[in-house]
């Protein structure tokens, strides 16, 4: 129970949002951040290390960041309450304290008879994410970026053959009332191509991103040639030292923020048949025009609209594990 939040409500006075940044108010700020995170409005603290996959660690960091301020504004919008610049009213605080995720911003995880195939696939992915403890943005103007390795467009697992475009890049949002909507379901690779597997630029071997959830990309340019999400935070990688094209237990694990593992595309002039030189471990969409559409969509995310330096959350999952945990049942 949010005890400090309740005490603030009981006083019945407006509170400056800026006051939450005072060190003495950190416990109160953490209570507010926790509520916002649980409601799917504020990104959690995400982390991991060489031994531990990246995932949400806690719902609050106790820092009054621009993202926290924007999540407070997002709550006002979702609750249909007027936002007065830099103020938290007792009415807003009461609504925040009482709001519960399953009723305030619900997600319809279960299939219905009227669902289209794309909706069923979106629900499968979201059920998997929820089961694994990954965070899900719940408001319609915040998007969930997900890559699924070894999956066909209809959600069926494939052989995940080396050097082929057999992974999926997805963007999923939650519509008012909780129905998931698949905005993007495109061909991609989450794995390096043959060229860089055979000719790694790192002595430990070519990069293969570890499955998990990361907060690690900002809007930028890939190699100064195309718009992309560029790495701006830590990632966990498997280094394919033995060049067997798998995440082998004998391969070293590498964690860092400066690997240049970006979310980009191929070329505006060609749609390549094979991955080859187009990935040295990046998350790459095969079709350039679709990639531009992907960038246009995610730039409409409320968090990015409010903060152009926003660091995007992306989840990378195994199609095999998705099939095991959430079978493709029509």
Domain ranges of the chain: 3-103, 106-325
CA-angle at 127, arms to 126 and 133, nearest 5°: 85
CA-wise closest residue to 16 among 28, 1, 3: 28
Share of the chain above pLDDT 70, in %: 99
Place 328 in a pLDDT band, splitting at 50, 70 and 90: confident
Whether residue 182 contacts residue 119, with contact meaning beta carbons closer than 8 Å, is answered with: yes
Place of tokens 């963007």: 171
Specify the range with the lowest mean pLDDT, choosing from 75-84, 244-253, 308-317.
Answer: 244-253
What mean pLDDT comes out for the span 16-30? Answer: 96
What mean pLDDT comes out for the span 264-287? Answer: 97
Mean pLDDT score of the chain: 96
Q: How far apart are CA 60 and CA 112, in angstroms?
A: 35
What mean pLDDT comes out for the span 156-163? Answer: 97
Q: What's the whole-model pTM score?
A: 0.97
Place 330 in a pLDDT band, splitting at 50, 70 and 90: low
Phi, psi for 298 (deg, rounded to 5): -70, -20
Say if residue 329's pLDDT is above 90: no
Place 108 in a pLDDT band, splitting at 50, 70 and 90: very high
Return the structure tokens found at 64. Answer: 């009054």
């Amino acid at each position: 129970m949010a005890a400090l939040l309740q005490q603030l409500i009981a006083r019945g006075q407006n509170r400056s949002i800026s006051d939450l940044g005072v060190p003495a108010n950190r416990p109160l700020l953490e209570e507010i951040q926790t509520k916002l995170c649980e409601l799917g409005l504020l990104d959690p603290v995400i982390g991991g290390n060489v031994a531990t996959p990246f995932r949400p660690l806690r719902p609050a960091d106790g820092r009054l960041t621009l993202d926290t301020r924007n999540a407070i504004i997002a709550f006002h919008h979702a609750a249909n309450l007027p936002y007065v610049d830099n103020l938290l009213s007792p009415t807003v605080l009461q609504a925040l304290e009482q709001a519960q995720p399953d009723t305030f911003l619900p997600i319809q995880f279960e299939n219905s008879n009227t669902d289209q195939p794309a909706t069923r696939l979106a629900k499968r992915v979201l059920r998997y994410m929820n089961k694994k403890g990954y965070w899900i943005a719940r408001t319609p103007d915040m998007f969930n970026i997900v890559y699924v390795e070894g999956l066909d467009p209809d959600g069926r697992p494939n052989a995940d053959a080396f050097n082929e475009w057999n992974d999926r890049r997805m963007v999923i949002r939650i519509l008012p009332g909780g129905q998931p909507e698949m905005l993007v379901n495109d061909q991609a690779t989450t794995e390096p191509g043959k060229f860089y597997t055979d000719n790694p630029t790192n002595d430990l071997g070519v990069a293969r991103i570890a499955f998990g959830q990361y907060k690690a990309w900002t809007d930028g340019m890939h190699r100064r040639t195309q718009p992309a999400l560029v790495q701006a935070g830590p990632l966990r990688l498997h280094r394919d030292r033995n060049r067997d094209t798998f995440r082998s237990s004998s391969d070293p694990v590498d964690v860092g923020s400066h690997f240049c593992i970006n979310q980009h595309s191929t070329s505006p002039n060609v749609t390549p048949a094979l991955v080859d030189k187009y990935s040295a471990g990046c998350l790459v969409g095969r079709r350039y025009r679709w990639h531009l559409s992907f960038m246009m969509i995610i730039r409409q995310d409320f968090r990015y609209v409010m903060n152009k330096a926003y660091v995007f959350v992306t989840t990378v999952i195994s199609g095999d594990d998705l099939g095991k945990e959430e079978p493709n049942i029509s």
